[in-house]
Every structure is written in structure tokens, then in C-alpha cells.
């Protein structure tokens, strides 16, 4: 599967903005509630892709299609129901193609009582997307009442393996600050690319850049980081620091210079 332009020399930095439906607008402020602001960040920061739900793509496609590759997330779950997590498809692959997506995305809650429904739906999506030569990115988040700890190395490796075995081209999982263990996580993704998710409210200083260096050294292929970019007051500086680590193999002390 051709991953260009979402991967450059095998590496990628992706800007997700699918949080409204997932978390409610509590992640937003008066600036970043405007999708255009975040799309412009994706363009200025030369991200490898911007990720959103179909509705955002539908309303804003004209502007960003020319300038940043698009990943349309095909499923979503809301914030209110207190049930075992399930994320259900709301946009077809065909519609994503019409909206000129360069890839499609899907979330699986591994370990949920509903995982088999997501496995089944995702399998069909992979088949359809590959018929259109569209790469597929899967977010695999272990979650639900049977998951005691979603950040053990074993469960992250299981998440990575699930993405590979279900046919994803790219698997997005969390990082658990276990550099040595993470090599095992990456190995379990096999020929699928493994990228790391951002998370809420991280202080993007030396400690965080060290983690990025560590998971890149463990074999990750990049990141999909949202809130810590578009909630930041210096998003483009952070972007440059992350890019230096991901694409230029920079040392942490050199990446830190971008934050000054």
C-alpha cells in the first residue's frame, strides 16, 4: 500500500482533530474550536496529514485539500453513555473517497465487550479501502471493564498486533515510557507502521522530548498528536521540535532549541 504522502521516508507527523465528538467541546477554546485554525496549523506546520470526521472534511475540504493530506476517521463514539466502549462507523469508504481522503482511520477498543463488532466492521473497511488503494490507519486503544491497565507493554504489544492482523497499514497506540519494552510493541506491528498518540495536557519540555526520542529509537515511525499541538500557545515551535526528532533523528538537546 502506498503510504506517500502520509509518510515521508517512512516517518510521519499527523495532526488529529476528531476530539469534538469524542470528548465534547471541552477540549476547545475560542481559537481552536474553529476547524480552520487547526487546518491552518496543519498547513503551516507541514504536517503529513490532518485527521478529522467526515463533517469537518465536508465543510472545509476546499481549503485544506490543496495543502495538507487528509485522513477521514470513519467511526466515532460520544462521551455521554457510560457503557462498554464501542465506536461505530458513520462514514463509508466511498464517501471518504468522494471527500478526497488520502487515507481512512478507525478506532478499535481492544478488550471491550464489543471488540468483535469493531473487528468485523474494521475488516470490511480494510477490504473496501484497499480496493480504492487507500491506506488504513487504526487507533487501537485497550479499554473497557476487562482492561485493568491499558499501558502495560504486553497490552500495547497486543494492540499493535491486532492492528497488523486486522490488515491496517498504520497502527496508532499509546506510549508507556518503557523504551526497552516498546521495541517489543513495535515488533508486534510487523510491516504495519506504528505511530504513537499524544494524550492530554502534557508539558512539552525536555522530559516529553526524551520520551519521543525513546520511542523513535525503539522503532516507532512517528506520531499523531493533537491536543498538545492545537491547545498550545507555541504550536509551530513544538511541531519543529517533534519533526527534528522524528525526521532528522535529532538529539533531545538539539530538539529543545526549537522550544526556546
Catalytic residues: 141, 172
Dist CA 222 CA 79 (whole Å): 28
CA nearest neighbour of 71 among 40, 44, 93: 93
Nearest residue (CB) to ligand FBP, 16 versus 69:
16
What are the cell numbers at 55? 463533517
> CB within 8 A of 179, min separation 6: which ones?
214, 215, 217, 218
Burial of 137 (0-12, 13-18, 19+ CB in 10 A): buried
The three-state secondary structure class of 174 is coil
Q: According to the binding rule CB under 6 A, does residue 197 interact with ligand FBP? A: yes
Give yes or no for residue 69 binding ligand FBP (CB under 6 A). Answer: no
> Per-residue x/- marks for ligand FBP, 13-42, CB under 6 A?
---x-xx--x--------------------
Smallest separation, CB 251 to ligand FBP (Å): 24
Interactions with ligand FBP, residue window 114-173 (CB under 6 A): 139, 141
92 binds ligand FBP (CB under 6 A): no
Contact 223, 247 (CB under 8 A): no
Among 199, 206, 248, 249, binds ligand FBP (CB under 6 A): 199
Candidates 1-9, 61-69, 195-203, 213-221; binding stretch for ligand FBP (CB under 6 A): 195-203
Q: Based on C-alpha coordinates, what's the Rg of the chain? A: 17
Give the footprint of ligand FBP on this chain (CB under 6 A): 16, 18-19, 22, 139, 141, 197-199, 225-227
Amino acid at each position: 500500500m502506498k503510504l506517500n504522502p502520509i509518510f515521508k521516508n517512512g516517518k510521519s507527523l499527523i495532526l488529529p482533530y476528531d476530539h469534538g465528538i469524542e470528548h465534547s467541546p471541552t477540549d476547545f477554546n475560542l481559537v481552536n474550536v474553529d476547524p480552520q485554525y487547526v487546518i491552518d496549523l496543519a498547513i503551516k506546520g507541514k504536517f503529513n496529514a490532518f485527521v478529522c470526521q467526515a463533517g469537518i472534511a465536508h465543510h472545509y475540504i476546499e481549503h485544506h485539500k490543496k495543502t495538507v493530506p487528509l485522513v477521514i476517521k470513519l467511526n466515532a463514539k460520544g462521551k455521554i453513555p457510560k457503557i462498554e466502549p464501542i465506536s461505530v462507523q458513520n462514514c463509508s469508504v466511498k464517501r471518504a473517497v468522494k471527500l478526497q481522503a488520502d487515507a481512512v482511520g478507525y478506532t478499535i477498543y481492544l478488550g471491550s465487550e464489543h471488540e468483535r463488532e469493531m473487528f468485523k466492521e474494521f475488516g470490511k473497511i480494510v477490504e473496501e479501502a484497499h480496493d480504492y488503494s487507500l491506506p488504513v490507519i487504526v487507533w487501537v486503544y485497550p479499554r473497557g471493564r476487562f482492561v485493568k491497565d491499558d499501558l502495560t507493554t504486553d497490552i500495547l504489544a497486543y494492540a499493535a498486533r491486532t492492528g497488523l492482523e486486522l490488515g491496517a497499514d498504520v497502527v496508532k497506540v499509546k506510549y508507556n515510557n518503557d523504551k526497552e519494552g516498546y521495541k517489543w510493541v513495535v515488533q508486534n506491528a510487523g510491516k504495519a507502521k506504528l505511530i504513537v498518540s499524544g494524550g492530554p495536557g502534557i508539558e512539552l519540555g525536555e522530559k516529553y522530548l526524551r520520551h519521543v526520542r525513546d520511542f523513535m529509537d525503539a522503532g516507532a515511525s512517528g506520531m499523531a498528536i493533537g491536543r498538545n499541538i492545537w491547545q498550545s500557545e507555541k504550536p509551530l515551535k513544538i511541531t519543529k521540535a517533534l519533526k527534528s526528532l522524528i525526521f532528522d533523528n535529532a538529539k533531545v538537546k538539539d530538539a529543545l532549541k526549537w522550544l526556546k
